[in-house]
């Protein structure tokens, strides 16, 4: 029908627009509901339209039911965004629409994971193709999730809202404290997983600046997610290795160090779990495996996924790396064969440096040099 045709043209039109990367400093400046709404209103249609075309860019997407489903969710959302006016005299309808679309988008990641599995099996997609496609798609999703979460948080601010918070951003985020919380969470998950056997790994957070702790403006939930994911991997490998090779868990402490200069925060998670086997190393950043489910003992896979909202799809590590990259940071793993593994997380410390890193173009699979946005 005509609305459908109109919307298809709109998708093409919006997908061609440039996205605007937002920095933490802009997020902080625009924390009044009207400003946060403006950002959503301006950015979301562009970003959703680009994802719709990224799906359509897969030649066989229509024969993949999971991709058809994601396409439907994104199209539905794009339509809502285009049909809903933003009226500052009554923001309720807009707020309701944002809340609805946030809810709707929750089913996207399991569908994408299943869809990619199908493309791998039926179309012979390679790991590298899948990783590239999902990195692009999910980096954008982190951004749209951030915008909608920030809007809702700014709109529903109340007395209970912690001071120093602006929406989802903590202006004095304390990385060492987040590391402590993540360690606590990981130990809890380990206890539940290993039942009554005493196999709780020792996790130490080194404080380099105990008197004047490092603080920086950041979204604490992103850092928490990354830290829990890294610690779960280290903890699991530590317990497995201690079982296999003998020795006490206390002799294999997982040590977290927090360092910083004026411009960046650095966090290292160091384990003595024997390193990452070379045949596994290539898969660490794959969405199709997780370090826990990659191995033979899939019955333990719930350990790696517990506490993450993306349970069971092995997306924890690659998604952690995307969260790091999203605001200009990076995540690296270094393995010492036979010894252990160090994860290095770097984050931008200055609010003007911590800027969204968004996908700029969608590389076509059939022609890597072509760009939908070029
Ligand atoms: C390991 C395997 C791994 C993956 C990710 C992070 C840390 C570790 N340690 O042995």
pLDDT in tens, 139-171: 999 999 999 999 999 998 665 677 899 999 999
Structure tokens at 193: 């997983």
Instruction: Choose which residue among 274, 282, 290, 335 to substitute to test ligand 1 binding: the one with the highest number of ligand atoms within 8 A of its C-beta.
Output: 335
CA–CA dist 186, 207 (Å, integer): 19
Query: Is residue 45 exposed (0-12), middle (13-18) or buried (19+ Cβ within 10 Å)?
Result: buried
- ipTM score here? 0.98
Average pLDDT over residues 333-337: 94
Instruction: Choose which residue among 233, 255, 317, 339 to substitute to test ligand 1 binding: the one with the highest number of ligand atoms within 8 A of its C-beta.
Output: 233
Distance (angstroms) between ligand 1 centre and the Cα of 334 equals 9
More confident residue, 190 or 321: 321
260 lines ligand 1 (CB under 6 A): no
Binned at pLDDT 50, 70 and 90, residue 57 comes out as very high
CA–CA dist 179, 214 (Å, integer): 12
Structure tokens at 79: 């339509």
- Reported for 98-104, long-range contacts at CB under 8 A and 24+ positions apart, including other chains, are 98/40, 98/148, 98/151, 98/152, 99/152, 101/77, 101/148, 102/145, 102/148, 102/149, 102/152, 104/73, 104/76, 104/77
237 lines ligand 1 (CB under 6 A): yes
Checking if the pLDDT of 191 tops 60, the result is yes
Mean pLDDT score of the chain: 87
Binned at pLDDT 50, 70 and 90, residue 212 comes out as low
333 lines ligand 1 (CB under 6 A): yes
Between the CA atoms of 354, 74, 284 and 353, what dihedral angle is there, to the nearest 10 degrees? Answer: -10
Q: How far is CA 89 from the centre of its chain?
A: 35
Helical pair 127-155 and 33-56, crossing angle rounded to 10 deg: 160
Contacts of 250 (CB under 8 A, 6+ apart): 202
CA–CA dist 122, 131 (Å, integer): 17
CA–CA dist 283, 287 (Å, integer): 8
Distance (angstroms) between ligand 1 centre and the Cα of 341 equals 6
In terms of residues, how long is the chain? 374
pLDDT reported for residue 360: 74
189 lines ligand 1 (CB under 6 A): no
Distance (angstroms) between ligand 1 centre and the Cα of 308 equals 17
CA–CA dist 66, 55 (Å, integer): 11
Residue whose CA is closest, atom 4 of ligand 1? 233
Q: What is the pLDDT of residues 278-303, one digit of tens each?
A: 777 778 888 886 544 433 333 333 33
Distance (angstroms) between ligand 1 centre and the Cα of 277 equals 10
Distance (angstroms) between ligand 1 centre and the Cα of 168 equals 29
Residue whose CA is closest, atom 9 of ligand 1? 234
């Amino acid at each position: 029908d005509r609305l459908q045709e109109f919307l298809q043209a709109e998708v093409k039109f919006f997908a061609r627009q440039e996205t605007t990367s937002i920095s933490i400093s802009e997020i902080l400046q625009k924390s009044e509901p009207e400003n946060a709404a403006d950002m959503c209103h301006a950015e979301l249609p562009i970003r959703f339209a680009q994802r719709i075309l990224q799906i359509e860019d897969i030649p066989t997407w229509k024969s993949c039911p999971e991709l058809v489903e994601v396409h439907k969710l994104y199209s539905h959302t794009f339509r809502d965004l285009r049909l809903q006016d933003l009226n500052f005299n009554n923001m309720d309808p807009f707020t309701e629409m944002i809340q609805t679309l946030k809810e709707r988008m929750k089913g996207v990641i399991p569908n994408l994971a299943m869809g990619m599995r199908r493309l791998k099996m039926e179309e012979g997609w390679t790991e590298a193709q899948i990783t590239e496609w999902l990195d692009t798609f999910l980096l954008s999703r982190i951004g749209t999730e951030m915008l909608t979460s920030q809007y809702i948080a700014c709109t529903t601010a109340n007395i209970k809202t912690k001071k120093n918070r602006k929406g989802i951003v903590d202006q004095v985020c304390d990385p060492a404290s987040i590391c402590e919380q993540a360690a606590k969470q990981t130990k809890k998950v380990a206890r539940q997983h290993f039942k009554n056997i005493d196999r709780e790994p020792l996790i130490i957070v080194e404080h380099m600046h105990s008197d004047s702790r490092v603080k920086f403006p950041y979204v604490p939930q992103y850092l928490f997610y990354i830290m829990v994911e890294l610690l779960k991997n280290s903890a699991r490998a530590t317990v497995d290795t201690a079982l296999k090779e003998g020795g006490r868990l206390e002799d294999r402490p997982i040590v977290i160090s927090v360092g910083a200069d004026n411009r960046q925060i650095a966090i290292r998670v160091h384990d003595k779990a024997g390193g990452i086997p070379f045949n596994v190393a290539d898969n660490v950043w794959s969405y199709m495996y997780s370090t826990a489910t990659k191995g033979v003992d899939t019955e333990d896979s719930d350990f790696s996924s517990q506490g993450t909202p993306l349970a069971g799809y092995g997306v924890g590590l690659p998604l952690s790396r995307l969260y790091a990259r999203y605001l200009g940071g990076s995540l690296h793993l270094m393995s010492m064969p036979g010894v252990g593994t160090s994860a290095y997380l770097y984050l931008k410390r200055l609010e003007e440096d911590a800027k969204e890193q968004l996908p700029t173009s969608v590389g076509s699979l059939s022609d890597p040099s072509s760009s939908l946005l070029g």
